[in-house]
Amino acid sequence: TAGVSLFFGPYGICFILFFCIPLVLGIIMSFSKFDGKSMLPSEFVGFDNYVKLFTSEIFKRDFWTSIWNTIRFALIIVPLNILVSLGLAYLISLKPFGYKFFRACIYLPGIFPLTATGLILLKMFAFNSGFINSFFNISVDWFGEVGACWFMIGLFCIWGGIGGNFIILCAGLENVNKSLYEASSIDGCNGFKKFINVTLPSIKPQLFLCIFTTLTGYMNLYGQVYILGTGVANQGEMKTAVYRIQDLLLGNSKGYGYAAAMGIVLGLIIVFIVSIQMIISKEKRGNGKYAKAFLDYKKSK
Report the candidate in 90, 64, 214 with the shortest Cα–Cα distance to residue 154. 214
Q: What's the longest Cα–Cα distance across the chain? A: 74
Share of the chain above pLDDT 90, in %: 26
Report the candidate in 296, 227, 222 with the shortest Cα–Cα distance to residue 266. 222
pLDDT score recorded for residue 1:
60
Whole-number mean pLDDT of the chain? 84
For residue 299, name the pLDDT band (cuts at 50, 70, 90).
low
pLDDT score recorded for residue 148:
92
Q: Is residue 47 part of a domain?
A: no
Is residue 179 predicted with pLDDT exceeding 70? yes
pLDDT score recorded for residue 25:
86
pLDDT in tens, 248-292: 777 655 678 888 888 899 889 888 888 887 777 665 444 444 455
Q: CA-to-CA distance for 208 and 204, rounded, in angstroms?
A: 6
Instruction: Among 59-63, 97-101, 193-197, 253-257, name the one with the lowest average pLDDT.
Output: 253-257
CA-based torsion, 144, 146, 131, 122: positive or negative: positive
pLDDT score recorded for residue 286:
45
Q: CA-to-CA distance for 141 and 54, rounded, in angstroms?
A: 35
Domain that holds residue 226: 52-300
43-44 and 32-33 beta bridge pairing: antiparallel
Q: Is residue 79 part of a domain?
A: yes
Q: Is residue 40 part of a domain?
A: no
Look up the CATH number of the domain holding residue 228.
Answer: 1.10.3720.10
Q: Is residue 268 part of a domain?
A: yes
Q: Considering just the CA atoms, what is the radius of gyration of the chain in Å?
A: 24
Instruction: Among 61-70, 88-97, 178-187, 244-253, name the one with the lowest average pLDDT.
Output: 244-253
Q: Is residue 216 part of a domain?
A: yes
Q: Is residue 121 part of a domain?
A: yes
Determine contact, residues 203/177, Cβ cutoff 8 Å. no
- Number of Cβ within a 10 Å radius of residue 142: 22
pLDDT score recorded for residue 83:
95
Instruction: Among 32-36, 61-65, 117-121, 272-276, name the one with the lowest average pLDDT.
Output: 32-36
- Quote the pTM value: 0.81
pLDDT in tens, 126-169: 988 889 999 999 888 999 999 999 999 999 999 988 999 999 99
Q: Is residue 30 part of a domain?
A: no
pLDDT in tens, 80-128: 999 999 999 999 998 889 889 999 999 988 888 888 999 999 999 998 8
Q: Is residue 12 part of a domain?
A: no
pLDDT score recorded for residue 191:
80
Domains in the chain, number: 1
